[in-house]
Amino acid sequence: MEWYSRELTEADAVWILDAFRGEDMARQGTVVDMATAAEYIAAVTRPATRHRVAAERETDRVLAFVGASIDGDNRSAWIYYWSIPSVRGAHITSTLVRDFSSDLLRGGLDRLELGFRTNNPASRRVAERAGFVIEGLEREKFLIDGTRVDVVTCGRLPSDPWPAESALR
């Protein structure tokens, strides 16, 4: 599948709604109709954030998303990401997150952070392929469906070894 990266736009509401349909994306937000899809887009594109999507070249459908909440005072950011089920395992998300994170570090940020649930090995692979270094474990950080879940925390610094760069597909 051919894809490219670009910014999220208001016109992507239909793709965002489709991505959230039938998926357990509660940690990413609540999108149940076109109005909440538009609200999601407004939230992730507000000031003090950065974002990028992987879009299918032929249809422009959003395949994966990466966002960053910027802490300008500390020149750092919290990174978060997701992908639609049909592209998981195709390295689209890890390439998107890697390139986005590299651009943020080149753009003057000194530290990037993210976390993934210990029961989510796919998210771990994305983080590792994107150059993030595991820094610790936050025990029982999230409450999901009444169960406490541990979260692995990661960081990426400009001084860390950078993952191999590649052209976007």
CB-CB contact of 17 with 31 (8 Å): yes
What gap in Å lies between CA 155 and CA 4, rounded to an integer?
26
Would you state the pLDDT for residue 21?
Answer: 86
Q: Is 12 helix (H, G, I), strand (E, B) or coil?
A: helix
Rg (CA), the chain: 15
Tokens of 79: 């990174």
Q: Report pTM.
A: 0.92
Would you state the pLDDT for residue 37?
Answer: 95
Ordered by where they begin, the domains of the chain are: 3-156 (3.40.630.30)
In tens digits, the chain (169 residues) has pLDDT values of 899 999 999 999 999 999 888 666 767 778 999 999 999 999 999 999 999 999 999 999 999 999 999 999 999 999 999 999 889 889 999 999 999 999 999 999 999 999 999 999 999 999 999 999 999 999 999 888 899 999 999 999 999 999 986 533 3
Would you state the pLDDT for residue 149?
Answer: 94
Q: Phi then psi for 77, rounded to 5 degrees?
A: -155, 150
Burial class (CB in 10 A: 0-12, 13-18, 19+), 147: exposed
Q: Which one, of 24, 5, 23, lies nearest residue 98 by Cα?
A: 5
Burial class (CB in 10 A: 0-12, 13-18, 19+), 104: buried
36-47 as b/e: b if 16+ CB within 10 A = bbbbbbeebeee
